[in-house]
Amino acid sequence: MCVQVRESVRRIPRVASWYGRRTDAQGAGVDNGPTIWEIPQPRSTFTVRLDDGGLTTVRRHGNPTGPCLVLSHGTGLAIDLYVPFWSALLADFDVYVHDIRNHGWNAVGALANHTIPAFARDHARIVAAISRRCGTKPKIGIYHSLAAMAALVSLTGTGRATNVPAQGPVLDALVLFDPPLFMRGVADDVFFGLAEVAAVKTRRKRARFTTRAEFAGRVARAARFAQVVPGVYHLMARTMLRECVDGPGYELSCPPEYEARVFADARRWTPRVDFAGIGCPVKVIASDPSNPTAYLPSLDDHQLAVVEYETIPGTTHFLQLEAPAACVRAALAYLRRRGQMGDVET
């Protein structure tokens, strides 16, 4: 899938220094020269109409006879950015990928609807549309960060007061990468304070760029992306920007004000998720617990008892972009143990 090319508020201690650390674990953070990742052409696409009239484009890739995988991404990103991870699944799985509203391939809609309850309602509609195409095959949701939160809120019905469906169409299993629920050893008030700080900083982000290369150079200097595999900076420029409609240049597909709203909204939803109410097996694959920004599925022993939890050493919140092969191995090992691999050879 890739070819090598040649090219001449209140802070948690140690966050900046940890993000700047580079490691050889599972190939994470190794600077072995630029790489160009190919985003494959989908086998087919279809649109799903959301409850406010917006549209989400779903792309189908991979092996149509394999078990069905549904993938989505974290805030401010795009699912095509995760191709270093999901391209390894295409030979054996029927892979459906989609962007969260106001991200990636999707048009930007009203800011008022860019909320976790809206993402949860979207999740139910999108999975229902995919289920009609998958039929009786096993259906597994593989979600990172914000998409994981949306799935959890949808499937547990924790947002009934805001018209989130009590239960989306049942998935056979969930694999959640670093769901943004609780930070290790951090009190709720500190966690919520950090979310507010993140919202303020995000609103100040630069939104427009003269060229994609300019954006790639900017993210290459960002400490939080120091460990991604080669080629991801240019992949970010291809997947996270759209051409400006009011002049030359490029702009973020998810505007900073929209991304900031997610951080501000998270404090209302983080404590509400009950893993016991999901109705399907759940695997959480998290970043290195020595990372002071690492998330846990919950600090409650009751929650930990119903979730299988694993960490990928040497990674941060962007683990699928830092150690994609290790993340694939962890996900497939879990699905194999749960009998969710269909006829895929082990």
pLDDT, tens only, 192-240: 676 677 777 888 889 999 999 999 999 999 999 999 999 999 999 999 9
Note the pLDDT of residue 29. Answer: 37
pTM: 0.85
Domain span at residue 191 reads 2-337
Look at residue 345 and tell me if it is in a domain. no
Q: Quick: pLDDT tens for 99-131.
A: 999 999 999 999 999 999 999 999 999 999 999
Q: Quick: pLDDT tens for 1-58.
A: 333 222 222 222 233 333 333 333 333 333 334 578 999 999 999 999 999 999 999 9
* Rounded alpha-carbon distances, angstroms, from residue 338 to 17, 140, 334: 38, 11, 6
Look at residue 147 and tell me if it is in a domain. yes
Look at residue 342 and tell me if it is in a domain. no
pLDDT higher than 60, residue 284: yes
pLDDT higher than 60, residue 152: yes
Look at residue 344 and tell me if it is in a domain. no
Look at residue 140 and tell me if it is in a domain. yes
d(CA 309, CA 286): 8
Amino acid code (one letter) for 13: P
Note the pLDDT of residue 293. Answer: 61
d(CA 46, CA 56): 8
Note the pLDDT of residue 290. Answer: 83
Read out DSSP for 46-97? Answer: EEEE-TTS-EEEEEEEE-TTSPEEEEE--TT--GGGGHHHHGGGTTTSEEEE
Look at residue 343 and tell me if it is in a domain. no
Choose the weakest-confidence range: 8-17, 182-191, 208-217, 294-303: 8-17
Which of residues 276 and 142 earns the better pLDDT score? 142
Q: Which residue has the tokens 């406010």?
A: 52
Average pLDDT in the 139-157 region?
92
d(CA 290, CA 281): 26
pLDDT higher than 70, residue 294: no
Mean pLDDT (the chain) is 82
Which of residues 346 and 332 earns the better pLDDT score? 332
Look at residue 323 and tell me if it is in a domain. yes
d(CA 59, CA 65): 16
* Count: domains in the chain: 1
CATH number of the domain to which 313 belongs: 3.40.50.1820
